């Protein structure tokens, strides 16, 4: 048994007195049903009225958020697009394409964050405002983690560009700088602004040295005493060697230059060039990567990874990826200084710096309430071929497990199930089976929804599910007396048995009422008639009626005979068929030939002999009497017809 990673949270069910009564529960696909039982915990049963409700408890409430729905939909599009281009991803462009996909995901997260932020500002009551704000911070954390994973795992930046990417990463996530910059620049006297020095410091901390230099020049303009120092510091800032993208320097060249520059800064500090201005001096110390100076700026840095990146920028700009985690660990320790313990986000980032992908995913799964993040990130990393086939206890690999969990969560939602289908499609081992189980349980309230579900099943050759869904719909239609709909459902499912059922219903209606209902359907069956024998019989029988109505007696007669002899007529209907033959037999002209009459007689005798002769009282007797009378009439009519036919066929064709 695995040990728990954290304490389970307690959720109180409103209206249920959990001290007095017991509760029962049952698991569903993504939720739990809970209700109160009538068992008391301690005392004997008192009939205290309890809570009459059944509660549905969901862990994942994100799925019901309006704004997050956009995230799910847009990322679904990106996911499907990624799976589809997988085959085309080869060679050099592969990495670029995957990075592009990763950036797409991130932009979707950011768009969602932006919208959530707007909602938080516009919120009417503080509680929902708080909720939106906490969502914003969760989304921001997700984007932070994803961005770092993109840099380390997908982009796989080597030493040199690695630092540039990390700088971008930090700059993206500390956004107050730009607004502060605008603030200060926009003021009357920038260098006298109260946050002026904070701004300059943070610009230096973020490696934005050009802008810092501009700020310093403003200060130089205003106070001539420090103009000289500002100029020198500004020159140092300008000459700091950085690896610009597209630059053809090698790493060792950069190292050398940087070492040289570092020594120059050191020299200025030793010489006391900035001694008269403590602020400028601390800026110089920062640029030398002095840890104590950096730690003084804890507030401006705000978090340990900012500290880490700044530290790397000014002391080890050519850091290699594998060495990152040393610096990360020490930065975390230094920054926290033993006062506080690392938070889940810190652990996740640390695991990323250690290149431990599995740990990252595991920690994210625990920290986040929804599988969205881990499922998509794992899938993308899997495309980068970074996950070994790490088999879990139940046979599928991690990517598939996460995708299945995510998709199952989608299916629990009344509307997002359509997205879940595509996720199951791309789970090779258990996806199809899961889809088969889930898709049958979608409630079908309108025909249009049923059609969409059926289309999904047909596209994946899930014939069993098609049959079962069509059967349910056809049965509903039969109950509502929509026989045409029922027939069209059974045609779609190629369900002969149900078509037989519908035809029997029609025939029964005919027997009861003496006429056909829904002639528009029966007259226009078309090739569907071949689906089942009974249906064919129905169609042909109606045709017989039509022939009779059009007075095409010979056609009607031969059709009637073929209906009887071809065995597609149900036994119970034979009496009706034979009775239908009566008017034909009674016609002035002889319609049935002798052969045909012999056939009819044979059928009649078959019918008569097949029925058990029992003497029973009451209504049964009456019924039997009627039957017997009918048979007698038929026998008489057949005999008469036979006589006329023999005579007609025997005589010369005179008439």
Partner 1 sequence: MEEIYAKFVSQKISKTRWRPVPPGSLQTAETFATGSWDNEENYVSLWSIGDFGNVDSDGGFEGEHQLLCDIKHHGDVMDLQTLSVSQQWTTAHYHTGPGSPSRSSAPCTGVVCDNPEIVTVGEDGRINLFRADHKEAVRTIDNADSSTLHAVTFLRTPEILTVNSIGQLKIWDFRKQGNEPSQILSLTGDRVPLHCVDRHPNQQHVVATGGQDGMLSIWDVRQGTMPVSLLKAHEAEMWEVHFHPSNPDHLFTCSEDGSLWHWDASTDAPEKSSLFNQGGRSSTFLSHSISNQANVHQSLISSWLSTDPAKDRIEITSLLPSRTLSVNSLDVLGPCLVCGTDAEAIYVTRQLFS
CA 79 – CA 512 distance, rounded (Å): 58
Nearer to partner 1, 363 or 422 (CB): 422
Options 99-107, 397-405, 486-494, 631-639: segment touching partner 1 (CB under 8 A):
486-494
How many CB atoms within 10 Å of residue 532? Answer: 23
Q: Which window, 177-185, 284-292, 414-422, 423-431, contacts partner 1 (CB under 8 A)? A: 414-422
**Minimum CB distance to partner 1, residue 565 (Å):** 29
Backbone angles phi, psi at 640, to 5 degrees: -60, -45
Out of 246, 278, 338, 527, the residue judged to bind partner 1 by CB under 8 A? 527
Size of interface with partner 1, in residues (CB under 8 A): 43
Q: Which H or E run includes 42?
A: none
Q: Are 424 and 432 in contact (CB under 8 A)?
A: yes
Nearer to partner 1, 325 or 476 (CB): 476
Instruction: Verify binding: residue 100, partner 1, rule CB under 8 A.
Output: no
| Residue 478 interacts with partner 1 (CB under 8 A): yes or no | yes
Contact code string over 76-95 relative to partner 1, x by CB under 8 A = xx---x--------------
Query: What distance, in Å, lies between the first and last C-alpha atoms of the chain?
Result: 100
**CA distances for 245 relative to 163, 170, 171, angstroms:** 11, 18, 17
- Three-state DSSP state, 16: coil
Sole binder of partner 1 in the list 50, 344, 484, 570 (CB under 8 A): 484
Query: Between residues 68 and 360, which has the closer beta carbon with respect to partner 1?
Result: 68
Beta-carbon neighbour count of residue 222 at 10 Å? 14
Q: Which residues contact 5 (CB under 8 A, 6 or more apart)?
A: 366
What is the rounded distance in angstroms from the CA atom of residue 553 to the CA atom of residue 577?
15
Residue 482 in the binding site for partner 1 (CB under 8 A): yes
With CB under 8 A as the contact rule, which of the stretches 28-36, 193-201, 444-452, 574-582 interacts with partner 1?
444-452
**520 binds partner 1 per the rule CB under 8 A:** yes
User: Phi, psi at residue 91, to the nearest 5°?
Assistant: 65, -145
471 binds partner 1 (CB under 8 A): no
- Our finding on whether 414 is near partner 1 (CB under 8 A) is yes
Q: Which is nearer to partner 1, 115 or 533 (CB)?
A: 115
By C-beta, is 45 or 448 nearer to partner 1? Answer: 448
| Helix (H), strand (E) at residue 322 | none
Work out whether 69 is an interface residue with partner 1 (CB under 8 A): yes
DSSP lists the bridge partners of residue 391 as: 397
- Nearest Cα neighbor of 289 from 308, 270, 268, 267 is 308
Interface residues for partner 1 in 283-342 (CB under 8 A)? none
Q: What are residue 58's DSSP bridge partners? A: 31
| By the rule CB under 8 A, 546 interacts with partner 1 | no
136/233 with CB nearer partner 1: 136
Smallest separation, CB 131 to partner 1 (Å): 17
User: Minimum distance between the CB of residue 246 and partner 1, rounded to whole angstroms?
Assistant: 26
Q: Can you tell me the distance from the alpha carbon of 204 to that of 547, in angstroms, rounded to the nearest whole number?
A: 98
Using DSSP's 3-state secondary structure scheme, residue 97 falls into helix
Q: Is the dihedral of CA 409, 412, 414, 415 positive or negative?
A: positive
Q: Could you say whether residue 425 binds partner 1 (CB under 8 A)? A: no
**Site residues for partner 1 per CB under 8 A:** 66-67, 69-70, 73-74, 76-77, 81, 414-415, 418-419, 445-449, 451-452, 455, 459, 476, 478-485, 487-488, 491, 517-518, 520-521, 524-528
């Amino acid at each position: 048994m695995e040990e728990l990673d954290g304490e389970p949270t307690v959720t109180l069910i409103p209206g249920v007195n959990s001290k007095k009564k017991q509760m029962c529960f049952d698991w569903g696909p993504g939720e739990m049903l809970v209700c109160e039982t009538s068992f008391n915990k301690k005392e004997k049963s008192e009939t205290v009225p309890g809570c009459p409700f059944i509660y549905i408890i969901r862990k994942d409430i994100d799925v019901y958020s309006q704004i997050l729905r956009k995230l799910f939909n847009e990322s679904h599009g990106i996911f499907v697009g990624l799976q589809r281009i997988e085959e085309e991803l080869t060679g050099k462009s592969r990495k670029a394409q995957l990075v592009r996909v990763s950036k797409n995901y991130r932009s979707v997260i950011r768009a969602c964050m932006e919208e959530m932020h707007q909602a938080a500002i516009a919120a009417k009551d503080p509680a929902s405002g708080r909720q939106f704000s906490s969502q914003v911070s969760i989304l921001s954390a997700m984007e932070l983690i994803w961005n770092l994973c993109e840099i380390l795992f997908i982009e796989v930046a080597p030493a040199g560009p690695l630092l540039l990417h990390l700088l971008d990463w930090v700059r993206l996530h500390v956004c107050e700088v730009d607004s502060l910059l605008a603030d200060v620049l926009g003021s009357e006297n920038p260098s006298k602004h109260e946050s002026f020095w904070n701004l300059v410091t943070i610009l230096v901390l973020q490696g934005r040295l050009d802008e810092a230099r501009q700020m310093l020049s403003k200060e130089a303009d205003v106070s001539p005493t420090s103009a000289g120092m500002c100029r020198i510091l500004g020159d140092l800032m300008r000459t700091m060697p950085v690896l610009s993208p597209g630059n053809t320097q090698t790493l060792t060249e950069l190292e050398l230059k940087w070492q040289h520059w570092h020594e120059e800064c050191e020299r200025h500090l030793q010489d006391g060039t900035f001694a008269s201005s403590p602020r400028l001096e601390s800026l110089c110390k920062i640029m030398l990567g002095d840890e104590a100076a950096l730690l003084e700026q804890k507030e401006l840095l705000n978090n340990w990874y900012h500290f880490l990146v700044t530290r790397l920028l000014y002391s080890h700009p050519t850091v290699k990826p594998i060495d990152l985690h040393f610096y990360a660990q020490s930065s975390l320790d230094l920054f926290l200084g033993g006062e506080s313990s690392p938070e889940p986000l810190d652990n996740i980032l640390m695991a990323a710096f250690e290149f431990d992908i599995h740990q990252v995913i595991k920690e994210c799964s625990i920290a986040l309430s929804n599988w969205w993040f881990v499922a998509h990130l794992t899938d993308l990393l899997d495309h980068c071929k970074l996950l070994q086939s790490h088999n879990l206890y139940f046979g599928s690999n991690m990517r598939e497990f996460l995708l299945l969990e995510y998709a199952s969560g989608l299916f629990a939602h009344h509307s997002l199930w359509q997205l879940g289908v595509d996720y199951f499609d791309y789970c090779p081992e258990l996806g199809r089976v899961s889809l088969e189980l889930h898709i049958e349980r979608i409630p079908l309230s309108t025909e249009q929804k049923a059609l969409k579900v059926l289309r999904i099943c047909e596209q994946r050759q899930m014939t069993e599910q098609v049959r079962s869904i069509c059967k349910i719909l056809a049965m509903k239609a039969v109950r509502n007396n929509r026989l045409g709909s029922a027939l069209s459902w059974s045609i779609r499912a190629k369900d002969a048995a149900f078509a037989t059922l519908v035809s029997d219903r029609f025939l029964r209606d005919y027997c009861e009422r003496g006429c056909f209902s829904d002639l528009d359907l029966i007259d226009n069956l078309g090739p569907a008639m071949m689906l089942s024998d009974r249906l064919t019989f129905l169609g042909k029988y109606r045709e017989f009626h039509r022939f009779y109505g059009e007075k095409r007696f010979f056609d009607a007669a031969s059709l009637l005979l073929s209906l009887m002899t071809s065995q597609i007529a149900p036994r119970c209907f034979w009496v009706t068929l034979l009775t239908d033959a009566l008017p034909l037999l009674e016609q002035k002209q002889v319609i049935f030939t002798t052969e045909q009459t012999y056939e009819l007689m044979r059928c009649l005798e078959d019918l008569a002999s097949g029925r058990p002769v029992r003497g029973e009282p009451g209504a049964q007797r009456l019924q039997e009497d009627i039957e017997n009378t009918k048979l007698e009439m038929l026998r008489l009519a057949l005999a008469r017809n036979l006589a006329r036919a023999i005579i007609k066929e025997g005589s010369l064709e005179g008439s």
